[in-house]
Structure 1
């Protein structure tokens, strides 16, 4: 009987797929992505250990796999869904330990024209940079992006009727959580507006209780804003920043509200369609460590991360869906934060060199 039921269910599924496939509006899209790397850091750790505050190419003096992913999306115009699985060092460095291989898994229905309700596991709606190198001008991400959420679970309502304006409303488990650590939920929003073909502005936020159930309530309100400006065909720029507050979180005054902020400026120049260079300047200040974690400085005092960095990268893109990149980056933390190891000597600076190449594809089927 179980075999009969299984065969019947499979036949029903095939009939549904066949019926939907006869609808000209049904689109199935298959995607894939591979990125490999070699990296070298002045901060010396044990072999195979991952560098702190690094999402891409996190292992020193190693050939590695940043990511191998495959996914599928399905859209009938009334129902849609996405499923993406992943493997590699990006997932090892950033993702949920329990759901490390699941990048996205969600389904949605169109409530009314241009308004969708989706539910499941999503990538974050916050930030100017993606955790995937293919979506950025540089492969590495800034420290602010490293401390932003990468993933979330819950539901979202999105408005997609306008070519210039987008809006999303999120109800999620929490900040960078698939499974919640308390009985409260977090709410967030995304608003973006495209002024013209050259300039667009986006604002995102997330508010909720981030402390465990049996501890003092720590309510976090996170804000992100960024502007993209492409003044001509050769130059592209991004300027953005984050600001967050959290109650009951100051190190020296536990009942007071702590503040974190950061800023980033990115500029890319295209020599030709295939060759480009990008520079990025960043600053991060989480003096109470409620997002970046608490460190101990050389005076034995507890404090959060305060650091700046500059990155310079070169890219060769033989096709629109492939790239070869070389990047170097200089990071310097607060002078009292000797958090890096240079040949056995503690230091507040780190240099890095990364070369990586990637290829991605998408195949759309009707």
Structure 2
């Protein structure tokens, strides 16, 4: 890790030196981000265990580091690239064990006017919520987002000319994979359309064989759709959901096709430029456990995760690039899923409280 850090700093210094010799059209940018937290959960675990279904602030009754991130981007108008490294509990809870410190590492070329071909390690193109607190209204993410892919490796072809419409086409190793687990590849798409200044839509998908090499063939189809609505400078809202199917995956019929559904609604109200409050309602149903996991219920049977949750958060943002947030969430799993430890007693309910603050910067060289 020490050698890796030295190498990264050397790259940054090289970029600074290179920028002096580049034309004005070349854009080199350094970015950084830190987010720290304290969290408390009614689900009591060992001090080194991470809370299940939690992306942000996953450790109970502890002060922690959600993320420390530094990155660099390079763009000449014909060639571009991004390299971002990360450290913290978000990476511990969500990222690949083999490449835990690498958030993004890719290079791209403009193959035609406003059409780019990029290749390498990317963050996902799927989802209404970002795994980084700075990029969304709430710091925590819903259960559906926790089970969406966070990262992927492969190539993407993107059209970026229009301010109203964007399209991407992806060929990747698989669902939440840097290293493929079989000899097949997955394909995906992303389309965004800005109707006007108030409303925009986004649709993304991923399709491919996700079962490991040598096991039965399981084909997964995943779709995400959401709409952003900002009727005025006080109110912002997101309404969206996921639907996924996978062949040969039903618990009571191994040859049947399993179905997962997820829905969420988010609304943010700004009292002033610095103070706001946000509420989120979510519903997750993966009764066959092919996206989440297979659990043992209180009757001794098996089933996937079914849960509903409500989150309420308050934010103080002293600047556009900093924030202090506090959030509380209540999660209700299916009544037969006594999966939480409440003072030594099994429960299907978990309460949580987090407070976190973050700062991020971007510096063009």
TM-score (norm 2): 0.95
After superposition, give the CA deviation of every residue in 1:130-180 in whole Å (9 maximum; x if it has no partner).
000000100000000000000000000000010000000000000000000
**Equivalent residue number for residue 3 of structure 1:** none
Alpha carbons 2:118, 2:157 under 8 Å: kept: yes
**Equivalent residue number for residue 137 of structure 1:** 137
Question: Over the residues paired in the alignment, what is the CA RMSD in angstroms?
Answer: 1.5
Find the aligned partners of 2:334 and 2:76 in 1 and give their Cα distance. 53
Does 2:209 match 1:196? Answer: no
Does 2:158 match 1:173? Answer: no
SS in 1 for 2:53: coil
Cα deviation, residue 364, structure 1: 1.0
SS in 2 for 1:284: strand
Gapped runs of 5+ residues in structure 2?
1-9
Mapping of residues 99-178 of structure 1, within 5 Å: 99-178=99-178
Alpha carbons 1:28, 1:74 under 8 Å: kept: yes
Does 2:301 match 1:298? Answer: no
**Alpha-carbon distance change, 219 to 20 in structure 1, aligned in 2, over 3 angstroms:** farther
**Equivalent residue number for residue 249 of structure 2:** 249
Cα deviation, residue 47, structure 1: 1.1
SS in 2 for 1:358: strand
**Equivalent residue number for residue 345 of structure 1:** 345
Find the aligned partners of 2:65 and 2:338 in 1 and give their Cα distance. 29
**Equivalent residue number for residue 264 of structure 1:** 264
| Number of residue pairs matched by the alignment | 354
Alpha carbons 2:54, 2:140 under 8 Å: kept: yes
Mapping of residues 165-244 of structure 1, within 5 Å: 165-244=165-244
Alpha carbons 2:277, 2:315 under 8 Å: kept: yes
**Alpha-carbon distance change, 52 to 76 in structure 1, aligned in 2, over 3 angstroms:** same
SS in 2 for 1:134: helix
Alpha carbons 1:20, 1:26 under 8 Å: kept: no
Cα deviation, residue 272, structure 1: 0.1
Alpha carbons 1:48, 1:60 under 8 Å: kept: no
Alpha carbons 2:330, 2:350 under 8 Å: kept: yes
Cα deviation, residue 298, structure 1: 0.2
**Alpha-carbon distance change, 318 to 302 in structure 1, aligned in 2, over 3 angstroms:** same
Cα deviation, residue 255, structure 1: 0.4
**Equivalent residue number for residue 320 of structure 1:** 320
Find the aligned partners of 2:18 and 2:346 in 1 and give their Cα distance. 63
Find the aligned partners of 1:42 and 1:235 in 2 and give their Cα distance. 32
Cα deviation, residue 18, structure 1: 4.2
Alpha carbons 1:20, 1:76 under 8 Å: kept: no
Find the aligned partners of 1:166 and 1:306 in 2 and give their Cα distance. 34
**Equivalent residue number for residue 68 of structure 1:** 68
**Equivalent residue number for residue 31 of structure 2:** 31
Find the aligned partners of 2:195 and 2:327 in 1 and give their Cα distance. 32
Cα deviation, residue 21, structure 1: 3.6
Alpha carbons 2:19, 2:28 under 8 Å: kept: no
SS in 2 for 1:45: coil
After superposition, give the CA deviation of every residue in 1:92-127 in whole Å (9 maximum; x if it has no partner).
000000000000000000001110000000000000
**Equivalent residue number for residue 310 of structure 1:** 310
Alpha carbons 1:313, 1:325 under 8 Å: kept: yes
